[in-house]
Structures are given as structure tokens and as C-alpha cells.
Chains A and B, each alone.
Chain A
Amino acid sequence: MSAVMTRILRDRRSLRGFRAVTATALLLLAAGSASAHHSATMFEQTKQITVEGVVKEFQYTNPHSWLLVDVKDKNGKVTTWGFEAEGPSTLQRAGIRPSVFPAGTKVTMTGRPMKDGTPAAIWVLAVRDDGKKFDPRAGFAVK
């Protein structure tokens, strides 16, 4: 079994907590309006995961974008992972445009996962199957 698959299975196990999200949500304050530009404390600060999959959709939006990636486990079950990054202007400065990740692109994603096991992570690095790497934080560089 490949190291990547091992990681995927480990993360699949953590997805058991996914169903608990609905219950957890009941414990949250009903803050009402949609909100957006948020703290990242719901993500692990140092732990990283890596998964392989194909791009399902690139939500290129403010204040945060989401790259949705379908990840298949060894039994063929597909889970959609979301990788959160900054908004369009920062991504553009990192060379990450909507056309870079059309649906169906094979990609290896590294990110800092959510603490509660939800299949979502802060996007740290994306590597396309042509070997090209994309780091959204590079968009903050002053050049």
C-alpha cells in the first residue's frame, strides 16, 4: 500500500467524525448571517496531510477560495475534500488562475486538516500531475 493511500485511509477513519459535525453544529451559537474572513483556528496549526485526487471544482471567490478535490479510497469510494486558500487577487499573484485547475485535473494536495475530521484543509501546496507546484501563500510576497 502506498504511503499516500495510507494517509488517505487514516484520514478516512478520521472522517467518522464528519457525521458528528451536524450534532456539533447544534452546540454552536446561531450567529445568523453568513460570515467569511475568519480565523483559521479550526485547522491544525502544524500537522499536514497529503491526498491525491482529481479536481472537482475551483471556487474562485473572496475572501477565501476553495479547491474541491475528489479523493478515491481503495474501495472506490469517493470523498470530496475542500482546500481553502486566499481570494482571487492573492491567488493570481501566486500564479493560480481558474484555468490552472480545470475540473478533472489530477493533483496531489498537501494541507493542514481540520481538527474535527471534516475532509477540509488549509491549502499548503498543490502539485499537478505535470509536476508544477502551486503555493497560494506565495501571493503575499512583495515583488
Chain B
Amino acid sequence: MKLASIVATSALLIGTALLVNTLRAEDAADTRLRMIDLGKQHKTAESLYAALKEQAHGGRRLTPSTAPDWSGVYTRARGGITFDPDQPQGGPPTAKLTPEFQTRLTKRIEDADKGIEWDPISTCSPPGHPRWLTEPFLRDFVVTPDQTYLINEMMNDIRRIYTDGRDHVNKEDRYPLYNGDSVGFWDGDKLVIHTNQLHSGIYQRRNPDYTDQVETVEIWHKTSPKLIEVDVWVYDPPALVEPWYTKQSYAKLDDQGKSLRIRYWHCGENQNNAVVETEGGGTQFKDFTFDGPGSGSQGPGTGGKQ
């Protein structure tokens, strides 16, 4: 009798948990569809940003005492190095691409399947935004009243988001930047960002290209003590037939021993990492120097004697 009671209680608990998970999944799917639809209601990132700003009555200015606490060390919570964390396992990227960019993507994936792949950041350039959102290393975020600094350790890559009320640079004075020009406002505890003036690039390996017309709108929100979630809409008319909505997330890491540190990242520290692009568009090491102590390191204090 006692056993039957335990079994029944366990079944009830498991059933409840499954139901809760199902409802959460349905909520997430509904939210995603709403966000996709919101993006499609606006022809440009500028228009979406303006609408969000109007909805927030222009946003609020932070003071040191009202700035949200985003301290800590974070890393990407979902998605590996795929731009859309909700991309089905083994499936193609979820972007709706123009025919030209779809053809490019198809070839990129086919080539990668054959072992032919070249990543443009192999030449030590920074990933650039929006790819910046996907890199799997350590991050920290610093909120101040007039600027928010979004920092990725990879290549010491910092995005500066101006929230002091300034606007973008005049159109005629814009030129491509790896992380673009970002302005934002605070809607309650959500940071809304518009970024333009970007370089062309790729969203990630086995992911599509974007052009230098790409612009993004992001809503950053710390949704729990250990999670920051970001709604991202990418607009890029030459490459995308509609805005590409994705939900990014960054998890705060346990650092009980206070051992996590973000340090200077120089991507040319070790010549054993040097690669070249082959004629066929693949990647090959340039050379190895496994002979002699400190053989691969190129800077003081690096190498194996630490």
C-alpha cells in the first residue's frame, strides 16, 4: 500500500513536471512567433527601434543608484557557435535568405561537410557584430548611466552602447566598423539597442553571410539572478528577405573560488596556431615548431614554463 502511494505520488510529480515543461515550451514558441511578427511589422531596424522607444516614452536615464547589477562573469548559455540557439539540431540556419545568399550558404555547408572551411577571423580580425553575440568564451557587462560596456574576452572585444541620449553618426559620415555604432535607452530594466555602421561578415561557421548594410535591434534583460536574455532582430535587405529574430542568452558562471578572470587575448601569441587559406578555400596550418622549449610562443611570459 505504501509502495503504491509512493509510485502514485512520483507519477503525479513527474506528470506535473512534464506538463510545466510542455507549457513553458509552448510559451517560448508563442513568444518567438510574436517577436518574429514584431520584426516583420517594421521595414528597418531604425523603425523598430523608434517604435520601441516611443512605447517606452523615450526611455529613462539611469543614475548610479538605479543602474542594474549585471556584474559577474558570463558565457553563452545556449547555441554553441550557431547564431540561432533555436536552430533545430542538424538542421539549416533559421534565417530566411535571398536566393543569392541562400546559394552561398548551401555551398558553405556542403564544403564544410567535405572538410573545406575557412573562417575569416583566422586572420586575427575580431568577429564583429552580430557574430559577436555567438562567441563561446567569457564575457562581462558593465552598466553605467551614460554607457554600457558589453565585453567579450575573445580579441578583447568591447561593444560600447551609448545611453546618454546621443544619436547615431550622420549618414554621410558613416563608415564600416566591426562592432558598429550602438545607441540605446533603458525601458525599465531592459536595455534597448540599435546598431548600424557595421562591416560585412559571417554569423558563424556554417552560417550565412551578412553585408555592410546589416543593422540590429536588441533588447537585453536580466531575467533571473544568473541569466541575461537578449531578443535580437537583424535587418539586412540584400541577404535577408525578412528580419532574422533570435533569442540569445548568457549565463552567469559560478566563481566561488574567485578564479575566473578575463585577461588580454592576443590571437597571435602562438605561431603553432598560424593557418593559411588553401586554394580550394580550406584551412591548413602554416607550419609547426614543436622543437625546443618555448617553440611556439611569440611573446614574453607565454609558453610552457609558467
Contact = CB atoms under 8 A, between A and B. Distances in A.
B259 interface: yes
Interface in B112-132: 112, 115-119, 121-124
A2 interface: no
Interface string A13-51: 000000001001101111101111111011001000000
A123 to B, nearest CB: 13
B275 A63 contact: no
Contacts of A34: 124, 268, 271, 273-274, 286, 298
Nearest to A65: B270
B304 A27 contact: no
A134 to B, nearest CB: 15
B63 interface: no
Contacts of B137: 87, 89-90
A96 interface: no
A98 B304 contact: yes
A115 interface: yes
B304 A142 contact: no
A59 B304 contact: yes
A59 B283 contact: no
* Interface size band for B: 35 or more
A63 B273 contact: yes
Nearest to B135: A37
Nearest to A140: B136
Contacts of A136: none
Nearest to A97: B306
A37 B284 contact: no
A89 B277 CA distance: 27
Contacts of A59: 270, 272, 294-297, 302-304
Contacts of B306: 58, 60, 98
Interface string B37-64: 0000000000000000000000000000
B86 interface: no
Contact of A57 (B118, B154, B304): B304
A85 B114 CA distance: 23
B175 interface: no
A6 interface: no
Nearest to A80: B290
A63 B272 CA distance: 10
Interface string A80-110: 1110100111101100001000010000000
Interface in B274-297: 274-279, 282-288, 290-291, 293-297
B209 interface: no
A29 to B, nearest CB: 5
Nearest to B206: A39
Nearest to A92: B259
Interface of B: 75, 77, 112, 115-119, 121-124, 136-138, 153-154, 205, 251, 253-254, 259-263, 265-279, 282-288, 290-291, 293-298, 302-306
19 contacts: A25-B286, A28-B286, A29-B278, A30-B276, A31-B123, A31-B276, A34-B273, A35-B124, A35-B273, A37-B121, A41-B112, A41-B282, A56-B304, A59-B304, A62-B269, A81-B290, A115-B115, A140-B136, A142-B253
Given A41-B116, A66-B290, 16 more contacts: A36-B267, A37-B121, A37-B154, A38-B273, A39-B275, A41-B282, A42-B275, A59-B270, A61-B270, A65-B270, A89-B260, A89-B261, A93-B260, A98-B306, A119-B290, A142-B75
